[in-house]
Amino acid sequence: MRILVVGAGGVGGYFGGRLLAAKCDVTFLVRPGRAAQLARAGLRIRSPAGNLDLPAPPTVLAGRITRDFDVVLLSCKAYDLDGAIESFAPAVGKDTVILPVLNGMRHLDVLTERFGPAPVLGGQCFISAVVDSEGGIVHMNDMHSLTFGELDGSRSTRAVEVAGVLAAGAFESRLSENILPEMWEKWVFIAAGAGMTCLMRAAIGDIITAGATDLIGAIIEECAQIASEAGFPLAPSALDRTRATLTNPSSRLTSSMLRDVERGGRIEADHILGDLLHRAGASAPKSLLRIAFAHLKAYEARRAVGE
């Protein structure tokens, strides 16, 4: 299978690099600066699961795609989605599969509106990886999993074929027949975690020490209620895991969104918190989730004027 990995950042660079090391047919769709960096220094991955040094990985620039690909692995940030779609659209043929691993759900609506429902799979990944100052990928923990599946829950021939290719990579991969509920479970977790750690500008353990366990519990319940009203109630075991993780008094866990705020970067507030609020409808106006979202929108407003 010909695989186009959109971007070579922490997520795309890691999973694409693992597949490339397994001799899969991988090409990275990147911007000119990243293409030059990869040509010069290669793709370097430092990971507890094993390091990789891949010289001159195959790359292509937007506007220079001249063939269809079998799989498009989409790992961009939500705020780059529209631009990413324009860049990889020429790679989408009648049999192409688009496998996005963005958080939330809005991207599925955007992708199906542009390409129709047929090529779009559901997907998610669990990994903490960043690009260092020299362009290398640093994998920061033991988690490196990618789960995907058909949106209708079927075990299609194409999904099985994709699963076979992903299995070659030195990471955990799984074909799910329940991908939408699993994506909602993750969305509740990251929305509650990002909302609270950004609102408090603190790690989970610090928030618990401050006596705000009830506030964390409230935002978890609110996010879970939205999921339930959307037709995806969380399994009790998933809700228990979320509560346990986000109320651990010794936890130093912070959200990646808080880390983006602390460095003055762009954030996915609209995609992670805003879209969840949008789906809540009339129940949202006095919510804790709305306060957290307003806090992040105020950050974006201040950032926009350079203060």
Catalytic positions are 186
Our CA angle for 111, 109, 292, nearest 5°, is: 120
Distance CA 100, CA 74 (A): 4
| Distant-in-sequence, close-in-space partners of 184: CB < 8 Å, separation ≥ 6 | 105, 227, 230, 232, 234
Token representation of residue 169: 């990579």
- Helices marked H in the chain: 10-21, 32-41, 81-88, 106-115, 157-166, 179-200, 204-209, 213-229, 236-246, 256-262, 269, 275-280, 288-304
Among all chains, which residue has been given the structure tokens 């978890």? 220
Angle ∠(57,136,25) on CA atoms, nearest 5: 25
Residues contacting residue 23 through CB under 8 Å, at least 6 positions apart: 168
Radius of gyration of the chain (CA): 19
Segment holding 5, helix H or strand E: strand 2-6
Tokens, residue 118: 């047929």
Cα–Cα distance for residue pair 129/16, rounded to 1 Å? 13
Sheet holding 69-74, edge to edge: 59-60, 25-29, 2-6, 69-74, 92-100
Angle between helices 213-229 and 288-304 (to 10 degrees): 100
Between strands 52-54 and 43-46, the pairing is antiparallel
